[in-house]
A and B are shown apart, each in its own frame.
Chain A
Amino acid sequence: MPIYLVFVVNRSGGLIYHAQFHGAQVHPLNECLRLASTLHGIQQISRQVSPVENADDIGLVGLEARTFRLRVYQPPTGVQFVVLATPDMPDEVLLGILRRLHLLYADYALKNPFYVQDMPIRCRLFDIHFAKLMKPHIVGPLE
């Protein structure tokens, strides 16, 4: 039950970090940017079409398809952590990974004095710890 794809998306729908692993379709960077902003748009509309009152709802947080599932974790700051995995991956596991990822973001991106908020994450320590976090859950690097 591997993970295919990880996105970190900023408050305005811009992609600031992404990783693709074995099994995912290979996308060029521009395509990944487009996907991230599409997801952002989908979330906004999913709030609008809600049949129930949803004042504090952030919109779509989970999506299931026949061959994969997608989970979104959004802390109150509005930055989004998105993971795509096989459908048999339990929700708690995915949420756990996303929470850990949030910690890494806080520790190694936000606390980095050279990192500018909402800009792409290019921090060596973040990369190292991200690789450690993902290792047990992926089959291998992208082919």
Chain B
Amino acid sequence: MQIYNFYLFNRHGNCLFYREWQRSRAGTDSQQEQQNLVGLLFAIKQLCVSVAPVNDDSLPRGTRARHMPLGPSNFRNYTTAKYQLHYFESSTGLRFVLTTSPNAGDLTRLLQRIYKEAYVECAVRNPMYRLGSAIVSDTFRKRVDSVVRSLAVETNVLRPAPDGQGGSARSSTKSL
């Protein structure tokens, strides 16, 4: 399995963070691409509301396609012949998007871990971070890398991240 890239959008559709690993097709205009992706996710979310079966308890009663429910949708991932896109939306409207090679299974848990271990730890708890602004923190980037790397270790395939963040700096503190 290969991991291509990761986007973090806020509820207004602004990209707070972007990172790529094994992406092979260079984007021509990253801003345009992000806008396309936000539009795509919006359309998918609306489609999911419209076609969801009636026993879907995530929909408020009597919901019809005209009404966009607030809060996270039940959309999880989609697959094309070439890649798979995984999606997780928090109740506050943050959208975590990860693309991988197809047949990666359900990676919602991984995206939830990125939310918990990277976003909450390194953005929300950072006193210098203003909510809704782009995340430039180096620690955040490393956290995201390490969470994604843990997945790659589980599935036994990984090339190091492009900037070569090795795990070799880890020194034993127990001996002290």
Q: Which stretch, B46-54, B129-137, B140-148, B157-165, touches the partner chain A?
A: B46-54
Interchain CB contact under 8 A, A51 and B53: no
Report chain A residues within 8 Å CB of B36: 45, 48-49
Chain A interface bracket (under 10, 10 to 19, 20 to 34, 35 or more): 35 or more
Interchain CB contact under 8 A, A64 and B77: yes
Report chain B residues within 8 Å CB of A96: none
- A23, A51, A65: the one contacting B25 at CB < 8 Å is A51
CA distance A64 to B77 in the complex (A): 5
Report chain B residues within 8 Å CB of A34: 65
Interchain CB contact under 8 A, A25 and B43: no
- A27, A35, A59, A65: the one contacting B74 at CB < 8 Å is A65
Report chain B residues within 8 Å CB of A5: 51
Query: Given A51-B5, A54-B25: A66 and B58 within 8 A (CB)?
Result: yes
Q: For A54, give the chain B residue with the smallest CB separation.
A: B82
Interchain CB contact under 8 A, B51 and A70: yes
- B33, B40, B65, B74: the one contacting A46 at CB < 8 Å is B40
Interchain CB contact under 8 A, A23 and B54: yes
Is B71 in contact with chain A by the CB < 8 A criterion? Answer: no
Report chain B residues within 8 Å CB of A58: 80-81
Interface residues of B in 16-34 (CB under 8 A from A): 20, 23-25, 33
Is B151 in contact with chain A by the CB < 8 A criterion? Answer: no
Report chain B residues within 8 Å CB of A65: 48, 52, 73-76
Report chain A residues within 8 Å CB of B52: 25, 65, 67-68
Interchain CB contact under 8 A, B78 and A46: yes
Distance to closest chain B CB from A125 (angstroms): 28
Residues of B near any A CB (own CB < 8 A):
4-5, 20, 23-25, 33, 36-37, 39-40, 43-44, 46-48, 50-56, 58, 64-65, 73-83, 85, 99, 101, 106
8 smallest CB-CB distances across A and B, nearest first, come from: A51-B4, A66-B74, A62-B79, A65-B74, A63-B78, A67-B56, A54-B82, A51-B23
Taking A24-B51, A62-B79 as known contacts, 20 extra A-B pairs with beta carbons closer than 8 A to each other, sorted by chain A number, are A23-B53, A24-B54, A27-B65, A31-B65, A35-B65, A42-B47, A46-B85, A49-B33, A51-B25, A51-B83, A52-B4, A52-B101, A54-B81, A54-B83, A57-B81, A61-B79, A64-B106, A65-B73, A66-B76, A67-B53
